[in-house]
């Protein structure tokens, strides 16, 4: 297993739309393991393959307190949603930046697991938000892009300033 480099906003590769996974191979399973290790090390609760520069429809999530309930979603598709919630979100690709995003309160998602088995998952709260957030990554969208242009510009300036101070 390996810790992968997480792309940082505004890297253009974060805007790449991920392709469906045609076959679950040893390479895909290895990528899933590396993504999980990367997510836990960051530390985070969700990671899309797009964020580590693999443009395939793969997500790993673990919202548990104990970090031992890894959820793998391959080719996820939201098949139902309801309600509206405003949740304070953050992102491993936009470190140190948090803000509210309006999303569905609950979602039902259909996906494949790492063994290629299809399943349906009903979720609400943090898990539903996380699924929607990570699925946005697969579509080439970063959560800050829900905000006004002014707020996006301020966020970008703040990130650039932070990057300069690290160098």
N- to C-terminal Cα separation, the chain: 29
Residue 46's contacts (CB-CB under 8 Å, 6 or more residues apart) are 39, 59, 60, 61, 62, 63, 130, 131, 133, 134
What is the C-alpha to C-alpha distance for residues 76 and 123, in angstroms, rounded to an integer? Answer: 13
134 is catalytic: yes
Query: Which of the residues 33, 117, 134, 145 is marked catalytic?
Result: 134
Nearest to 50 by CA among 155, 160, 135: 135
What is the C-alpha to C-alpha distance for residues 145 and 152, in angstroms, rounded to an integer? Answer: 7
Catalytic residues: 134
């Amino acid at each position: 297993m390996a810790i992968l480099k997480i792309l940082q906003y505004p890297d253009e590769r974060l805007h790449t739309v991920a392709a469906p996974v045609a076959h679950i191979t040893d390479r895909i399973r290895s990528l899933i393991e590396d993504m999980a290790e990367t997510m836990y090390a960051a530390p985070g609760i969700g990671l899309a393959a797009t964020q580590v520069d693999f443009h395939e429809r793969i997500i790993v999530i673990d919202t548990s307190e104990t970090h031992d309930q890894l959820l793998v979603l391959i080719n996820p598709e939201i098949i139902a949603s309801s309600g509206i919630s405003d949740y304070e979100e953050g992102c491993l690709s936009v470190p140190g930046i948090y803000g509210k995003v309006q999303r569905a309160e609950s979602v039902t998602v259909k996906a494949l697991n790492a063994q290629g088995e299809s399943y349906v998952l009903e979720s609400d709260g943090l898990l539903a938000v996380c699924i929607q957030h990570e699925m946005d990554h697969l579509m080439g969208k970063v959560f800050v892009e829900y905000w006004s242009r002014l707020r996006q510009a301020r966020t970008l300036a703040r990130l650039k300033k932070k990057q300069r101070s690290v160098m």
